[in-house]
Structure 1
Amino acid sequence: MFYWLMKRVFVGPLLRLLFRPWIKGAENIPGDGPAIIASNHLAVIDSFILPLLIDREIVFIGKSEYFTGKGLKGRMTAGFMRGVGTIPVDRSGGRASEGALRTGLKRLGEGGLFGIYPEGTRSPDGRLYRGKTGVARLALESGAPVIPVAMVGTDVAQPIGRVIPKIMRLGAVVGEPLDFSRYQGMENDRFILRSVTDEIMYSLMTLSGQEYVDMYAATAKARISAGLPVERSVSSEAPGGRPAPQVDVPMPPDDDAPTDTPKSHTV
């Protein structure tokens, strides 16, 4: 109930007015049944804009820090995240992350939509980073299709460090469902998990037009904090070691986006 109140009555109408969100490929999201929504992650606002564009309720994984904040702001953030069904995940890995994945499997087992950011954290610079294999485990253990979704423009509206997003058009492009049933029963094979994850990331790359960096986003953030450069891998231009596809950054359907919306370019 809280989810739909926020979406349709309180937060949703304001976000629609300010950001006029658009979506392409919405027909690729099944009307019922379990599915994994795997999205690139450019800004905090991704988790607000994407649910607006999907008719069905979607539950995301969220970093555990959203649930442990202090003071009024911290309590309000935690309350909101719990209200919309966000599942906390400890990004240190191990048993804590395993628990979040199990909760995701339960959600899928109930026939719902489960959202996940395979990069594990926001991109530090707008590029697409190496995916973590948790999304592959979810797909193989649940048997649910993976729906790739590319968020567009959110990093321009809300770069890291900016709390209040700039008012501009934001959107999403939904790709065709990815079926990994051919790997059923192989969820403990780390090579299969990496192959499946790379296929998902390759799809995100073709949808978003982002440059790919064969490095985990968390590692890139650590390098940036240390004043070190984050270069594209010399051995891989696209996930799985494939050549980079020639694609464009998506634009709004009516082409009336502000001039600071990302322009089309080839990777």
Structure 2
Amino acid sequence: MLKPGKENEASDALEMSMAAVAAAMSDPSRMKMLCALMDGRAWTATELSAVAEIASSTASAHLTRLVNARLITCLSQGRHRYYRLAGQPIAGLIETLMGVSWQSVTPPTSRTPHHLRAARSCYDHLAGELAVHIYDFMTQAGWLTPDGSSLTDVGRVNLAQMGIFITPHPRRKACCACLDWSERRFHLGGEAGAALFQHCLSSGWLTRVPGFREVSVTAKGRRAFSQHFAIHSLAQN
């Protein structure tokens, strides 16, 4: 048990750390970079400077600030350096901040761009209307526990039949309900959400739109989502 003085020191350290994270995210250029990295891929400094519409030298300083705040990581491969988000908790923080920000600038009727509202990546899992419909189906069909915190045996069997296998002892949450910022309803996160999204991509059900978080549903995907999740009203891309 910490002594009173030690408790105060721990509290101060936590609050200072929170303030440092907030400060690192407070610049619009840095936020543009973080939002771009929400597609789950690694970007070069040149690509991120273009997204933020700033000079390369300025982008370098911003990226250093984000690395120091542990919001992103830098990966070196040969002569190239790539940047990506520091993990799912950071992606969750940004997604939540997006939702709070949209609430402050829009009326109750969502003005979220339709292409992002329909289907998009949320770091390593699927978000948007499509993801919400999948989550609703899985809940109603008994694939998930009522709170969305884990898969049921029925859910594991059905995912396995699709070729989606969940790691028995993942280092992150096996399954969780993520509040979708554009729909204000839940979509599937955690290890199961990531595995489902990767399967959709590798199976050709979804394709990424280069340089954006938007994903498109293919004709094969429309058939698959209708067959597996009873989703019959996906628009033609």
Structure 1 length-normalised TM: 0.31
Larger RCO of the pair (alpha carbons < 8 Å, separation 6+): 1
Instruction: Please identify which structure carries the higher helix content.
Output: 2
Larger Rg: 2
Structure 2 length-normalised TM: 0.34
